[in-house]
């Protein structure tokens, strides 16, 4: 993954550009020391002077009103600019100043709308952080201190403020009952901070040349290499999977785990501000030499079975079949935003349309139009595609037919871990109460869509849920959902049970993934991988232990994640970004496939050939669950569970005609 | 008569001209005059020589000044080159560390794939033996 940087040859600003902001995914506002507000259009490559401010107008920080639906009353004054004379200005899209407020003594160094749009905060050289109403009336002075506050931001739900105080970072909760968290973060003055809504991690950049990632309790997650110059800007991508840091003549793109994707050294001077577009594929940077830099993320790589695809340009994807060595370039009319590869299909979303390519004939895609140009995620399952846009969630079939559009508030804030798509269900963690999981049934086959058939099942866990995964096989009434909660405990629930029971499978699990074809669940611990071959046997702990395969893996690094499980081989992304394939449960997965296909003789044959105790245990449990008593009897005998054998023999002798058929 | 003339400070010279000063003194005066002329000439020559020397020295000074400036320029250039090299080195070092990081990633990926390959061929062998 790397940047493709583009900028205009002649700088349009005279003097330094101090701030930029995205209006939508095509338009960028920039403002600099030449008192001009410029609007850049990336599609047409135009640059317009919106307005010229008076001579004493030196902007420092610009923020655009968050794109949320405020229920009808559309506000037009959306641009918030903080100035060196301590004022902040609210202006409309045409650059007309609607409101100017004298906020601070000395410069006003930071200004941000709250994510819910209810108010705004400003921070100044005088060490004050103040909260103002939407119209610029002072609500409260939250913080008073004697050192300048260089940066202050809201968290995702506007309930807390993070601000800098010299070398320290401070989190102040706005409801007064909670304690403030303060910690020393850097050796030098902290210049910039960012707080991601999706992963809730904090990023800080300082004069000492380091950028560091913190969790919300002040624990250090990772630290960058030392840079020669102070870090002047940091920014999280909206999805929270990567971030950029800007310094003198330097832009670096990093993964959320801290390792670097790529490093660019444009000769632009210091980069005062970097902002991502809402789709997370482009960014704009304000440079000290008067340029505004635009960068696209390219060379994103995807692989599934024998296919790999790479985005080579803004509008070009190259796809390759490794076995036949056949490759091709797919050209799109617009910029490609999201790509998903899997289940024999390649799905790409451009600004306007979504393309579904069959991997057997990728030149004839099915297309459908998207509602809005900000698509944040594409999920694939065996029979359907889920497209998550700001306008809402939609589920389509691979033929491009809309199957369902489950209702959800602010879908663009959903992270990868908070949503899961099964072949006939979509599960979401409720964003307002993260203990609740909503499972939407999706219409399958030829059922005609209507608004009433979106039945929702609500599952309520006792803890905050951090990650969910739906099983990918089996009939809909046996659909299981695996969830990781805040304590990193793994639970499995059968969705369609009348009384859903949360069965605990294990603790200290970092990441989970279901096999794409069977009910094999794989979890990742700090230094081992665990495969639960029959998660449904979890109500009997000895059966669960027998059907679990554990394999030790060294040096997984920090925060590893499971990418996929295919044929019992788990693909793991380690903390340092490298991929590891671990053969974990290839025979059990084969067995599960035989059982799914109802080929009990083949399953038995497999067990007899391999002669592995775990495999026999799996067969025993599966045969017991599927009422195959003869096979279960043999299997239980081989794993020495004689009481179970006796029980089965008793059953077979008393009521043979009902159960053996 | 000559002696009487001498008394009134009149003298005859060799060609019997009457003179008011003594012959010797006259001669010495003549010599002195010549010497003075000589001296004057020599002083003028010396003046000329000194003038040309000054000119030369001035030229030399100018030259030295020029060379000095050139030397300072060269030193500065060298310093800046040094700095450039340093930053270039830092850049390349950063690139090397980035690349080695990628290499490390790919190495570990390769290792993992080799292990997977080994396990799978082991399984294949095991199954073939069973046949």
pTM of the model: 0.81
Q: Which of A261, A580, A610 to mutate to test the interface with B (most CBs of B within 10 A)?
A: A580
Instruction: Compare A178 and A260 and report the one with higher pLDDT.
Output: A260
Question: pLDDT digit string (tens) for A627-641?
Answer: 888 888 889 998 888
pLDDT at position A559 over 50: yes
pLDDT at position A73 over 70: no
**Interface contact B93, partner A, CB < 8 A:** no
> pLDDT category, A659, cuts 50, 70, 90?
low
**Interface contact A576, partner B, CB < 8 A:** yes
pLDDT at position A656 over 80: no
How many residues does the structure list for chain B? 131
Distances (CA, A) of A52 to A42, A97, A98, A217, A282: 21, 11, 15, 43, 27
Confidence at residue A409, expressed as pLDDT on a 0 to 100 scale: 76
> pLDDT category, A609, cuts 50, 70, 90?
confident
Tokens linked to A3 = 């940047």
pLDDT, averaged across chain A: 87
**Interface contact B84, partner A, CB < 8 A:** no
Q: What is the largest CA-CA distance in chain B?
A: 171
**Interface contact A133, partner B, CB < 8 A:** no
**Interface contact A569, partner B, CB < 8 A:** yes
Tokens linked to A137 = 């009336």
**Interface contact A582, partner B, CB < 8 A:** yes
**Interface contact B120, partner A, CB < 8 A:** yes
Residues of B within 8 A of A586 (CB-CB) are 120, 123
Please state, in angstroms and rounded to a whole number, the distance separating the CA atoms of residues A547 and A625: 14
Q: Which of A262, A565, A581 to mutate to test the interface with B (most CBs of B within 10 A)?
A: A581
φ, ψ for residue A123, nearest 5 deg: -130, 145
In this structure, what DSSP letter does residue A333 have? Answer: S
Question: pLDDT digit string (tens) for B3-40?
Answer: 777 777 777 777 777 777 777 888 899 999 999 999 99
Residues of A within 8 A of B88 (CB-CB) are none
Which residues contact residue A122 at a Cβ distance below 8 angstroms, ignoring those fewer than 6 apart?
A82, A88, A103, A104, A108, A110, A111, A129, A130, A132, A152
Nearest chain B residue to A225, by CA: B94
Please state, in angstroms and rounded to a whole number, the distance separating the CA atoms of residues A395 and A397: 7
pLDDT at position A450 over 60: no
Confidence at residue B46, expressed as pLDDT on a 0 to 100 scale: 95
Beta-strand runs (E) in A158-257? 160-165, 168-173, 181-184, 190-195, 202-206, 211-214, 220-223, 233-236, 242-247, 250-255
Confidence at residue A72, expressed as pLDDT on a 0 to 100 scale: 47
Nearest chain A residue to B124, by CA: A610
Confidence at residue A234, expressed as pLDDT on a 0 to 100 scale: 94
- Angle at the Cα of A282 (from A64 to A63), degrees rounded to 5? 15
Q: Which of B91, B93, B99, B108 to mutate to test the interface with A (most CBs of A within 10 A)?
A: B108
> pLDDT category, B2, cuts 50, 70, 90?
low
Confidence at residue A512, expressed as pLDDT on a 0 to 100 scale: 92
pLDDT at position A184 over 70: yes
Nearest chain B residue to A260, by CA: B98
Q: Do residue A569 and residue B97 have CB atoms under 8 angstroms apart?
A: no
pLDDT, averaged across chain B: 88
pLDDT at position A364 over 80: yes
Between β-strands A353-358 and A345-350, what pairing exists: parallel, antiparallel or unpaired?
A: antiparallel
Residues of A within 8 A of B112 (CB-CB) are 578-582
**Interface contact B98, partner A, CB < 8 A:** yes
Confidence at residue A112, expressed as pLDDT on a 0 to 100 scale: 92
Q: Do residue B123 and residue A586 have CB atoms under 8 angstroms apart?
A: yes
Q: Do residue B101 and residue A574 have CB atoms under 8 angstroms apart?
A: no
Nearest chain B residue to A1, by CA: B102
Q: Is B54 exposed, middle or buried (0-12, 13-18, 19+ CB in 10 A)?
A: exposed
Nearest chain B residue to A609, by CA: B130
Question: pLDDT digit string (tens) for A2-54?
Answer: 888 887 777 788 889 999 999 888 889 999 988 989 999 888 888 888 888 88
> pLDDT category, A370, cuts 50, 70, 90?
confident
**Interface contact B95, partner A, CB < 8 A:** yes
> Which three-class secondary structure state does DSSP give residue A505?
strand
Residues of B within 8 A of A1 (CB-CB) are none
Residues of A within 8 A of B97 (CB-CB) are 225
For chains A and B, what is the number of CB pairs under 8 angstroms?
44
> Which three-class secondary structure state does DSSP give residue A250?
strand
Please state, in angstroms and rounded to a whole number, the distance separating the CA atoms of residues A235 and A240: 10
The minimum CA-CA distance between B73 and chain A, rounded to whole Å, is 25
pLDDT-wise least confident of A451-455, B42-46, B87-91, B117-121: A451-455
Question: pLDDT digit string (tens) for A456-483?
Answer: 888 888 888 989 999 888 788 788 899 9
Q: Do residue A263 and residue B95 have CB atoms under 8 angstroms apart?
A: yes
- Among candidate residues A298, A247, A252, A297, the one with its CA nearest the CA of residue A273: A247
Strand (E) or helix (H) holding A589: helix A586-596
**Interface contact A656, partner B, CB < 8 A:** no
Q: Do residue B108 and residue A583 have CB atoms under 8 angstroms apart?
A: no
> Which three-class secondary structure state does DSSP give residue B112?
helix
Distances (CA, A) of B36 to A502, B25, B42: 132, 16, 10
Q: Do residue B108 and residue A580 have CB atoms under 8 angstroms apart?
A: yes
Could you give the strand order of the β-sheet that contains A326-331, starting from the edge strand earlier in sequence?
A: A301-304, A307-311, A316-321, A326-331
What's the rounded mean pLDDT across residues A429-436? 86
Please state, in angstroms and rounded to a whole number, the distance separating the CA atoms of residues A162 and A150: 11
Q: Do residue B116 and residue A228 have CB atoms under 8 angstroms apart?
A: no
Confidence at residue A310, expressed as pLDDT on a 0 to 100 scale: 92
Beta-strand runs (E) in A107-179? 108-113, 119-124, 129-133, 138-143, 152-154, 160-165, 168-173
Q: Which of B86, B95, B101, B118 to mutate to test the interface with A (most CBs of A within 10 A)?
A: B101
What's the rounded mean pLDDT across residues A567-583? 86
Question: pLDDT digit string (tens) for A274-317?
Answer: 999 888 888 999 999 888 999 988 888 888 888 999 999 889 99
**Interface contact B67, partner A, CB < 8 A:** no
pLDDT at position A440 over 90: no
Q: Which of B103, B106, B109, B114 to mutate to test the interface with A (most CBs of A within 10 A)?
A: B109
Residues of B within 8 A of A580 (CB-CB) are 108-109, 112
Tokens linked to A323 = 């076995």
What's the rounded mean pLDDT across residues B55-62? 96
Residues of B within 8 A of A260 (CB-CB) are 98, 101
- Other CB atoms within a 10 A radius of the CB of residue A534 amount to 27
> What is chain A's Cα-based Rg?
28
Q: Do residue A581 and residue B116 have CB atoms under 8 angstroms apart?
A: yes
> pLDDT category, A626, cuts 50, 70, 90?
confident
Q: Which of B88, B89, B98, B122 to mutate to test the interface with A (most CBs of A within 10 A)?
A: B98
Is the separation of the CB atoms in A369 and A356 below 8 Å? no
Is the separation of the CB atoms in A5 and A21 below 8 Å? no
The minimum CA-CA distance between B109 and chain A, rounded to whole Å, is 5
Tokens linked to A146 = 């004697």
User: What is the ipTM, given to two decimal places?
Assistant: 0.76
Listed by number, the residues of chain A in 210-269 with a beta carbon closer than 8 Å to a beta carbon of chain B are 225, 228, 259-260, 262-263, 265
> pLDDT category, A661, cuts 50, 70, 90?
very low
Listed by number, the residues of chain B in 23-62 with a beta carbon closer than 8 Å to a beta carbon of chain A are none
Residues of A within 8 A of B83 (CB-CB) are none
């Amino acid at each position: 993954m790397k940047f493709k940087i583009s900028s205009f040859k002649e700088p349009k600003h005279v003097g330094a550009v101090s701030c930029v902001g995205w209006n939508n995914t095509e338009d960028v506002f920039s403002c600099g020391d030449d008192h001009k507000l410029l609007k850049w259009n990336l599609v047409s490559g135009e640059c317009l002077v919106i307005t010229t401010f008076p001579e004493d107008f030196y902007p420092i920080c610009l923020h655009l009103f968050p794109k949320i639906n405020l229920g009808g009353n559309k506000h037009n004054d959306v641009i918030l600019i903080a100035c060196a004379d301590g004022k902040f200005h609210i202006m409309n899209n045409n650059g007309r100043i609607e409101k100017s407020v004298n906020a601070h003594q000395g410069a006003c160094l930071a200004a941000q709308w709250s994510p819910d749009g209810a108010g705004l905060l400003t921070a100044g050289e005088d060490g004050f952080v103040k909260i103002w109403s939407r119209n610029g009336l002072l609500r409260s002075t939250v913080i008073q201190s004697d050192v300048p506050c260089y940066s202050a931001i809201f968290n995702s739900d506007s309930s807390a403020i993070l601000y800098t105080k010299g070398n320290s970072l401070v989190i102040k909760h706005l409801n007064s009952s909670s304690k403030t968290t303060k910690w020393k973060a850097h050796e030098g003055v902290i210049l910039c901070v960012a707080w991601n809504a999706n992963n809730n991690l904090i990023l800080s950049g300082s004069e000492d040349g380091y950028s560091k990632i913190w969790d919300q309790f002040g624990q250090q997650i990772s630290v960058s290499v030392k840079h020669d110059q102070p870090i002047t800007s940091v920014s999280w991508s909206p999805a929270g999977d990567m971030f950029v840091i800007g310094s003198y003549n330097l832009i670096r793109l990093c993964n959320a785990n801290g390792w670097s994707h790529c490093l660019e050294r444009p000769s632009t001077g210091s980069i005062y501000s970097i902002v991502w577009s809402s789709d997370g594929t482009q960014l704009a940077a304000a440079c000290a030499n008067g340029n505004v830099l635009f960068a696209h993320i390219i060379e994103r790589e995807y692989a599934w079975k024998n296919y790999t695809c790479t985005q080579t340009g803004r509008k070009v994807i190259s796809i390759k079949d490794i076995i036949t060595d056949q490759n091709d370039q797919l050209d799109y009319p617009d910029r490609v935003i999201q790509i998903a590869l899997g289940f024999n299909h390649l799905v790409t979303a451009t600004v306007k349309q979504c393309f579904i390519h069959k991997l057997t004939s990728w030149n004839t895609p099915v297309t459908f139009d998207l509602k809005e140009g900000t698509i944040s995620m594409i999920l694939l399952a065996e029979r359907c595609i889920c497209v998550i846009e700001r306008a809402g969630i939609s589920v389509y079939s691979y033929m491009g037919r809309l199957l369902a559009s489950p209702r959800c508030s602010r879908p663009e804030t959903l992270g990868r871990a908070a949503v899961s798509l099964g072949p006939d269900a979509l599960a979401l963690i409720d964003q307002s109460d993260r203990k609740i999981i909503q499972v939407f049934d999706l219409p399958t086959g030829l059922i005609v869509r209507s608004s009433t058939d979106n039945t929702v099942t609500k599952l309520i866990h006792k803890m905050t849920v951090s990650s969910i995964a739906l099983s990918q096989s089996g009939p809909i009434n046996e659909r299981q959902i695996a969830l990781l909660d805040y304590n990193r405990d793994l639970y499995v629930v059968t969705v369609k049970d009348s009384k859903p029971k949360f069965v605990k499978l294990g603790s200290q699990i970092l990441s989970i993934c279901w096999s794409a074809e069977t009910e094999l669940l794989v979890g990742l611990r700090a230094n081992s991988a665990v495969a639960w071959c029959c998660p449904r046997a979890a109500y009997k702990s000895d059966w669960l232990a027998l059907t679990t395969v554990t394999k030790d893996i060294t040096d997984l690094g920090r925060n590893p994640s499971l990418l996929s499980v295919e044929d019992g081989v788990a693909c793991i992304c380690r903390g340092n970004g490298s991929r590891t394939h671990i053969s974990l449960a290839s025979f059990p997965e084969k067995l599960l496939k035989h059982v799914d296909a109802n080929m009990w003789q083949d399953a038995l044959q497999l067990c007899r050939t391999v002669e592995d105790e775990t495999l026999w245990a799996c067969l025993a449990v599966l045969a017991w669950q599927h009422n195959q008593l003869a096979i279960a009897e043999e299997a239980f005998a081989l794993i020495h569970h004689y009481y179970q054998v006796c029980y089965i023999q008793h059953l077979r002798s008393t009521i043979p005609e009902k159960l053996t058929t | 008569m000559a002696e009487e003339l001498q008394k009134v400070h009149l003298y005859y010279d060799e060609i019997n001209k009457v003179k008011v000063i003594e012959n010797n003194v006259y001669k010495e005066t003549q010599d002195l005059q010549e010497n003075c002329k000589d001296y004057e000439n020599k002083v003028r020559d010396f003046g000329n020589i000194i003038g040309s020397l000054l000119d030369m020295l001035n030229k030399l000074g100018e030259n030295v000044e020029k060379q000095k400036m050139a030397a300072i320029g060269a030193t500065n250039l060298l310093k800046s080159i040094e700095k450039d090299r340093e930053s270039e080195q830092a850049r390349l070092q950063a690139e090397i560390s980035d690349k080695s990081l990628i290499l490390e990633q790919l190495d570990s990926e390769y290792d993992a794939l080799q292990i997977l390959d080994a396990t799978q061929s082991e399984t294949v062998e095991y199954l073939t033996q069973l046949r």
